Structure formats: structure tokens, C-alpha cells
Amino acid sequence: MRRPGMNIEAHAQLRTYLVAHGHLGPDDCPEFETLTGGVSNRTVWVRRENRADWVIKQALAKLRVQVDWFSAPERIGREAAGLRWLGRIIPGHVPEFVFTDDSHHLLCMSAVPAPHQNWKAMLLNGQTDLDHARQFGRILAEIHNAADDIPELKTAFADRAFFEELRLEPYYQYTASQVPAAARFLNELIADTRRRKLALVHGDYSPKNVLVYRDRVIILDFEVIHFGDPAFDLGFSLTHLLSKAHFLPHKRADFFEMSLEYWREYARNRPETAENRQENAAIRHTLACLLARVAGRSPLEYFDDGHRRRQARAVLQIIERKPATVLELIDAFKAQLEKNDERD
């Protein structure tokens, strides 16, 4: 696998590339800003005079985490395909595709206009808004429903190699190796996830990949999009809301309400059928992700050792109880956090 010779975080190199490939004129003088926070890509904001700004991403072969974690940078082509399709599926809720370059592992898209806010940052500041949660749930249902009207999505996104590299191995398999008490639960879930091929799956559906612009939710980051188990998206996203309830005790009730409203809005827009029994699968993925975000290759950076220990303990207790509904899961997590508060 050839590593790209250009580093877009070296802004002079990026400008030379953009001019050489006709994306900028030789006299253009854009401003460049390297964006931080992501682990799998280099990302640069390009401010163009009198024209719409761009965001350019370059996929990394080795992710920026403490443990070794690798993924083929060719996944940028998958992200480009996801962006183009989602522009049709959820118009107005994703950036516009501009260009891609497989040889340098680049994707260029329109920048979300300023002022906007990152939803994760808002939530960590205690800014909870039920309408944002409802939008988040409705948009995910629209993504999961898309293949009902666009059957070619099943073949366009059939390859799940990047999902294996970036989700199943680092989150579930690695966590199973670190937490023997959960190994059977996680390995059974991995097998079930591989069998379930029901919908288009975002694969990284979390508040860090959401911008809020004029109270509209904008979805980002599609490098692990695939056709598979839609309940993974539900578990992955609910984990972030519930983990923030753990992290911010004074806002706990608000985060639990957001979590439930998010689920309810999703379920209203994607009702269960005999073919799509999603609630039980969503519960299992939520428990798995709650554990993976404290014991997997990509732990939540805002948790300390105490948070990680308490969340792992709570999840192991809830797995034994086997909650039957998302409401029961949320109530069980709340009860376990309260026990942890008393114990610690």
C-alpha cells in the first residue's frame, strides 16, 4: 500500500497541489486552517476569497490513538461515495461533494457556513436541546430507510472491510480481549452483526460528527458507511448520549430525556417489522459500545480512570439483567450510575 507523498497539513504543499490540479487559480490566495480532534484523517479548512469555503480530508493509514490501529486509506473513496449518495437521501443535512483524489487519498467538500457549533462540544458544555436529538433520530431513520427506495445501495455499499477494521475489531473484538467477563456477549454480537444485512449504515453516527448550523443538524464523516446492521448506529449514538449523562451528573436527567426522545423519534420514522426487529439489537449494541468506549482501542477522551471503571462495572451488571426495551436500558443505566455514586 503506497503512502501518499503529500501531507495536506503542510499548507504550502496543499496549495501547490490545488493549483496544479486546477482547483485554485495561480493567483488565488486562500487561507488554510488545520482542524484538530479527528483520529483517522488530516483535515484542513480552505477559506477562499469571494467563494464558498472547502474542507479537505486526507485519510491516514495509522490512526492517531495510543494503541496501534491501522486502516487502508483507500477508505476515502468509500466516504466520497457515501457523501454523494447521502446528498440525495438527506439533502440539506450533509455538505456538498466537491472532488476526490484516490491517488492522494483526498476528499474535498463544502464547508458548513459559520457560525456553526460542533454538537459534541455543545453537549459537553451542558447545552441540551430536544429538537437536536429529534433531528438526529429522524435523519438516521431516513438513512436506514433509504434502501427501500434505492435497492442499488445494497450492492454499492456491500463491502464491509472498513467497518471490520474501524469498528468491529477495535471496538468489539479488542474489548472482548480486555474484558473476559463480556467476551461471550461481544463475540455473539459480532457474529449477529455480520449476519444482519438490513440497511445502509452510517457507522460513525455520533455527536462529534454533527455540526449545528441555524439549529439544523448537519451530518459528517462517512468512511465506514456500508450495508449491514442498522442497530449498530443506534448503539453507537446512544452510547455518546448516555456517556455524557455519566460525565455530567448535574445534566443527567436532561441527557436521559434526550436519549429517550432520540430513540422515540427514530422509532416513529422506522417502525419495527417482522424483518426489522431493531430494539433488542439496539440495546445489545448500546451495551457493547458503552463498554468499548472505556475498554476498546478508542476510549472516550473526556473520561478519567474512575469514569471508565464505573461505566464498565455498570455495563457488566446490565448485561446480566437483559433489558427488553430501550427505556428499560436507560433506567437500568441510571440506576447503576446512582449506585456508583453511592459507592464512590
Half-sphere exposure of 176 (CA within 13 A, CB side): 13
Beta bridge partners of residue 201, listed in sequence order: 226
Which cell numbers in the block locate residue 27? 493567483
For the stretch 199-250, pLDDT in tens is: 999 999 999 999 999 999 999 999 899 999 999 999 999 999 999 999 999 9
Q: What is the pLDDT of residue 1?
A: 40
SS in 3 state form for the chain? CCCCCCCCCCHHHHHHHHHHCCCCCCCCCCEEEEECCCCCEEEEEEECCCCCCEEEEEECCECCCCCCCECCCCHHHHHHHHHHHHHHHCCCCCCCEEEEEHHHCEEEEECCCCCCEEHHHHHHCCCCCHHHHHHHHHHHHHHHHHHHHCCCHHHHCCCCHHHHHHHHHHHHHHHHHHCHHHHHHHHHHHHHHHHCCCEEECCCCCHHHEEEECCEEEECCCCCCEEECCHHHHHHHHHHHHHHHHHCHHHHHHHHHHHHHHHHHHHHHCCCCCCCCHHHHHHHHHHHHHHHHHHCCCCCCCCCHHHHHHHHHHHHHHHHHCCCCHHHHHHHHHHHHHHHHHHC
Confidence band, pLDDT 50/70/90 cuts, at residue 65: low
Q: How far is it, in rounded angstroms, from Cα 60 to Cα 159?
A: 20
Q: How confident is the model at residue 276 (pLDDT cuts 50, 70, 90)?
A: confident
pLDDT score for 69: 62
Residue 75 near residue 226 (C-beta atoms within 8 A) = no
Closest by Cα among 149, 264, 243 to 199: 149
Q: Does the 11-110 domain belong in CATH 3.40.50.720? A: no
- Write down the pTM of the prediction: 0.91
Say what the pLDDT of residue 71 is. 65
Comparing CA positions, the residue from 175, 205, 199, 200 lying closest to residue 189 is 175
> For residues 223 and 203, what is the distance between their CA atoms, to the nearest angstrom?
8
107 strand-pairing partners:
57, 100
Residue 66, pLDDT > 80, answer no
The residue written with cell numbers 496501534 in the block is 68
Name the grid cell of 48: 477562499
What percentage of the chain has pLDDT greater than the value 70? 93
Q: 43: burial class by Cβ within 10 Å (0-12, 13-18, 19+)?
A: buried
Residue 89 scores a pLDDT above 50: yes
CA distances to 55, 94, 125, 138, 203 from 217, in Å: 18, 9, 17, 11, 17
Residue with more model confidence, 48 or 274: 48
Q: Which of 261, 265, 257, 318 is nearest to 288 (CA)?
A: 318
Work out the end-to-end distance of the chain between its first and last CA atoms, rounded to an integer number of angstroms. 49
Mean pLDDT along residues 317-330: 95
Structure-block grid coordinates of residue 124: 459537553
CA atoms within 13 A on the CB side of 187: 9
What is 117-343's CATH superfamily?
Aminoglycoside phosphotransferase (APH), C-terminal lobe (3.90.1200.10)
Q: Where are the domains of the chain?
A: 11-110, 117-343
Condensed to tens digits (0 to 9), the pLDDT of residues 92-106 reads: 999 999 999 988 889
Contact 332, 321 (CB under 8 A): yes
- Compute the distance between CA of residue 45 and CA of residue 27 in angstroms, rounded to an integer: 19
pLDDT given at position 36: 78
